[in-house]
Amino acid sequence: MAKKQHPRTTISGTALERLPEILAKAGMKLGAKTPDVPPPAPVLEEAPISDEEAFASAMGGVLRASWRHDLHPSSKPCPVPAADAETEEGRLMQAAIDAEFRIPVMDHPEYIEGWVGVAGKKLLPNLRNGLYSIQGQIDLHGLSRSEAGVAVQEYIERMSRFRPCCIKIIHGRGINSPADRVTLKESLQRLLATRRMSRYVVAYASAPAEDGGVGAVYVLLCRP
């Protein structure tokens, strides 16, 4: 059995012209036609320029300034005097003497000290550090051992006759002395430790570096 074909419905030009009116009665409205937007124009990439061209472009219009002042003549270098060996050695020695941190005199191999009784041991640190004022001193340079012994005994007895005091005995180190005067310091140490001198001597110690060092000795005396 053959299918029944429906007749095709055609829309005439008159119906199309009445389409807005029909849609208006139905409460519908045709949308506005979107205008055709042209596509964006392709961006053309600039060709890269070199550093020289960029510098020339940046400096365009810059004028060179002229120097209107006279050039300053270069000064001649001052001659450097040749270093004197003796002067340099003296400078280094003085720098070592003036140094803030000196080697303690107690670490010197020629350092000597001693005391008599409990009082002497108690007062020795202050004597060692030079905290007592010096009331007198005797210099033994140029004396032999026997002459130095007599001079020290007489000086100690005279200084301690009236009151306790502190004295300094300069005995030197015997570096430039003849053979019979080399042991002057050793003889002095033995003399200070004798029983006779213990009546006067409380303590003794080598002087600080700034006051003779191991070339002198502080002696603290008391009345006998």
Residue 92 has pLDDT above 50, yes or no: yes
What pLDDT, on the 0 to 100 scale, is given for residue 32? 59
Q: Would you mind telling me the total number of residues written for the chain in this entry? A: 224
Q: Residue 93: which H helix or E strand, with range?
A: helix 85-97
State how far the Cα of 39 lies from the Cα of 41, in Å rounded to an integer.
6
- What average pLDDT does the chain have? 78
Q: Residue 138: which H helix or E strand, with range?
A: strand 136-139
Residue % of the chain over a pLDDT of 90 = 34
Model confidence band, residue 24 (pLDDT cutoffs 50, 70, 90): confident
In whole angstroms, how far apart are CA 109 and each of 25, 106, 183, 217?
A: 131, 8, 15, 14
Residues 116 and 203 sit within 8 Å (Cβ to Cβ): yes
Highest mean pLDDT among 58-72, 73-87, 192-206: 192-206
CATH of the structural domain 106-221, one choice from 3.30.1370.110, 3.40.50.10800, 3.40.190.10, 3.50.50.60? 3.30.1370.110
Q: Where are the domains of the chain?
A: 106-221
Phi, psi of 180 (to 5 degrees): -80, -5
Question: Looking at residues 67-90, what average pLDDT do you find?
Answer: 66
Model confidence band, residue 180 (pLDDT cutoffs 50, 70, 90): very low
- For the stretch 27-67, pLDDT in tens is 676 665 656 666 776 666 667 778 888 888 887 777 777 66
**Helices and strands (DSSP H and E) totals, the chain:** 7, 5
pTM above threshold 0.85: no
Q: If DSSP states are collapsed to H, E and C, what string results for 168-210?
A: EEECCCCCCCCHHHCCHHHHHHHHHCCCCHHHCEEEEEECCHH
